[in-house]
């Protein structure tokens, strides 16, 4: 069952409410479920008793995770295809009869110098990171309205605030995705359709990005000798940490949460141009030391 608790809000002079959702039996769609964060989220929601739908292009990785879950629905979905994104929602509703939570987690990451990024790179990133999730969200909300409510959780990235070097397609598309999230938050405010934004920061997944600069590790922008401020804001979290926060966010919807204090502080300080450029510039310098300088200039 769902419970609502009331508390006194001193600045408004009135009673406000906290909505708390019981996740047992709730149908949760998780995109990007083949990756470390998506797989961890699938396991976390399954432990809560939710009925989990795992969606990704990489079915073999999902099926491995699915074997440890109770009764998941595994869907092969390429989010860069809007029809497949919409059909993912239709298949979920057809199988379970409803949809309670959509976690838009999937993302395309292309690593290259901004001077080499093609229109095709940008379009693919925008299709996967924006238009696909938008199509899925629109279809999900259509069904959620019929059943009386639901929750959209959009996994964004504070990287667009900092300007992460060599990640232009990802950063640009995530900036647009954040704009979309905040727009629909305003449009659905005060209704039973809840929209949340989650900023994970730097998560140590162990996966390698799709690099056009040759083989790179996930931490190729980091360096041991970087200053303590940069180290603070690039301290990694784990996929399990993110999964616990996504479950908490689903249980108690909020407008925006960060993976930790350093991520929140970094996002705020990114509004200071000199600070933002110093941190991002340090990352670019770290990358140039590890890669062929001709590829990073």
Render pLDDT for 233-244 as a digit per residue (tens, 0 to 9). Answer: 566 689 999 999
Residue 13 lies in a domain: no
Q: pTM for the complete prediction?
A: 0.88
Residue 9 lies in a domain: no
Residue 227 lies in a domain: no
Residue 27 lies in a domain: yes
| CA pair distance 271, 246, nearest whole angstrom | 26
Residue 159 lies in a domain: yes
Active site residue 170: yes
Q: What is the predicted pLDDT for the residue at 4?
A: 42
In the 3-class helix/strand/coil scheme, how is the chain assigned residue by residue?
CCEEEEEEECCCCEEEEEEECCCCCCEEEEECCCCHHHHHHHHHHHHCCCEEEEEECCHHHHHHHHCCCCCCEEEECCCCCHHHHHHHHHHHHHHHCCCCEEEECCCCCEECCCCCCCHHHHHHHHHHHHHHHHHHHHHHHHHHHHHCCEEEEEECCCHHHHCCCCCHHHHHHHHHHHHHHHHHHHHHCCCCEEEEEEECCCECCCCCCEECCCCCCCCCCCCCCCCHHHHHHCCCECHHHHHHHHHHHHHCCCCEEECCHHHHHHHHHCCCHHHHHHHHHHHHHHHHHHCCHHHCC
Q: What is the predicted pLDDT for the residue at 68?
A: 95
Which tokens hold the place of 132?
């696909």
Q: What is the predicted pLDDT for the residue at 263?
A: 85
Contact 156, 197 (CB under 8 A): yes
Q: Report CA 86 to chain centroid distance, whole Å.
A: 18
Q: Which domain holds residue 52?
A: 22-220+237-269
Q: What is the CATH number of the domain that holds 133?
A: 3.40.50.720
Residue ranges of the chain with pLDDT lower than 70? 1-19, 206, 224-236, 292-297
Q: What is the predicted pLDDT for the residue at 273?
A: 95
Residue 78 lies in a domain: yes
Q: What is the predicted pLDDT for the residue at 119?
A: 96
> For tokens 């769902």, what's the residue?
2
Residue 164 lies in a domain: yes
Give the count of domains, the chain: 1
Residue 281 lies in a domain: no
- Among 6, 124, 167, 170, the one annotated catalytic: 170
Alpha-carbon Rg of the chain, whole angstroms? 19
Residues 6+ apart with CB under 8 A from 147: 98, 99
> For tokens 């996967």, what's the residue?
128
What is the number of residues in the chain? Answer: 297
Q: What is the predicted pLDDT for the residue at 279?
A: 87
């Amino acid at each position: 069952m769902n419970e609502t608790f009331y508390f006194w809000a001193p600045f408004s002079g009135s009673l406000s409410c906290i909505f708390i959702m019981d996740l047992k039996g709730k149908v949760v769609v998780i995109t990007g479920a083949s990756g470390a964060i998506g797989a961890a989220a699938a396991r976390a929601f399954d432990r809560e008793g939710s009925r989990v739908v795992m969606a990704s292009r990489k079915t073999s990785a999902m099926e491995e995770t699915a074997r440890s879950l109770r009764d998941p629905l595994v869907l092969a979905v390429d989010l860069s295809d809007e029809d497949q994104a919409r059909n993912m929602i239709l298949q979920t509703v057809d199988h379970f009869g409803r949809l309670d939570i959509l976690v838009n987690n999937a993302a395309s990451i292309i690593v290259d110098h901004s001077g080499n990024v093609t229109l095709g790179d940008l379009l693919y990133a925008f299709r996967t990171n924006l238009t696909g999730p938008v199509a899925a969200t629109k279809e999900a909300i259509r069904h959620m309205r019929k059943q009386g409510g639901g929750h959209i959780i959009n996994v964004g990235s504070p990287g667009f605030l900092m300007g992460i070097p060599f990640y232009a397609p990802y950063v640009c598309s995530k900036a647009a995705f954040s704009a979309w999230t905040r727009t629909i938050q305003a449009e659905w405010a005060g209704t039973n359709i809840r929209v949340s934004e989650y900023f994970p920061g730097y998560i140590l997944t162990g996966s390698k990005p799709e690099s056009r600069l040759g083989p790179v590790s996930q931490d190729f922008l980091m360096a041991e000798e970087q200053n303590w401020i940069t180290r603070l804001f690039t301290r990694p979290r784990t996929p399990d940490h993110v999964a616990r926060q996504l479950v908490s966010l689903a249980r108690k919807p909020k407008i925006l949460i960060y993976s930790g204090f350093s991520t929140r502080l970094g996002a705020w300080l990114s509004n200071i141009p000199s600070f933002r450029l110093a941190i991002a510039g340090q990352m670019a310098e770290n990358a140039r030391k590890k890669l062929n300088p001709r590829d990073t200039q």
